[in-house]
Amino acid sequence: MDIVEMAVKDAFRITPRHLPDRRGSFFEAWRQSEISARIGRPYRIEQVNFSISAKNTLRGIHGTKVPPGQAKLVTCVQGAALDVVVDLRIGSPTFGRFDTTLQEAGSGIGVFVPDGLGHAFLALEPNTVMNYLCDTEYVPGTMIDIQALDPAIGIPWELTGTPIMSDKDAVAPTLAEVAASGVLPHYRPALADAVR
């Protein structure tokens, strides 16, 4: 597999190598030792989540307060999605920057989202299923929500109509508003927390 750092510092895109034959193909989606070596710490899975979304559903931007944090490896296992990572860490050299990945079922491409980064995606097909391998269990009350349509971030969603959003995502504050509230993680403590 190829593990490449994205435009957002400490986020990685994981692209497996497919081995095709007359039956179809096989690929190794990820290997703990390789991911751990690339991110510089052991990556253990403590919670697995799935989301199932109608076409044109926009989820996010969602992050987690640090501590406790919650790193995740996100992969599309059905349908297709435009997957986005946004740096929410105050003081990070890539604060406010985003990177996108087209995730399609069968490609096996995954995105590693470390503590302090936000995640969002737009479902491009009906019944798009995203799988999240999380390194900690979710702690209620620790989620950070940021407006995915924030023009200051400028994610090129290329929407073909009004997206389907949860009530809380639709009214989520901008990145500047959340930064002013003081709840965003800071770069160095987020890196230190990731070593837990």
Q: Catalytic positions, please?
A: 62, 132
88 in Cβ contact with 118 (< 8 Å): yes
Kindly calculate the radius of gyration of the chain based on its CA atoms and give it in whole angstroms. 16
- Report the alpha-carbon distance of residue 145 to residue 170 in Å, rounded: 10
- What 137-143 contacts at long range (C-beta under 8 Å, 24+ apart), as own/partner pairs, is 137/46, 137/47, 138/47, 138/64, 138/70, 139/64, 139/68, 142/64, 142/65, 142/68, 142/70, 143/62, 143/63, 143/64, 143/65
Instruction: Provide the token pair at 125.
Output: 């097909």
- Report the alpha-carbon distance of residue 55 to residue 124 in Å, rounded: 5
Q: Provide the 10 A C-beta neighbour count for residue 150.
A: 19
In degrees, to the nearest 5, what angle opens at C-alpha 13 toward C-alphas 34 and 174?
130
16 in Cβ contact with 108 (< 8 Å): yes
Please list the residues that pair with 12 across neighbouring strands: 5, 112
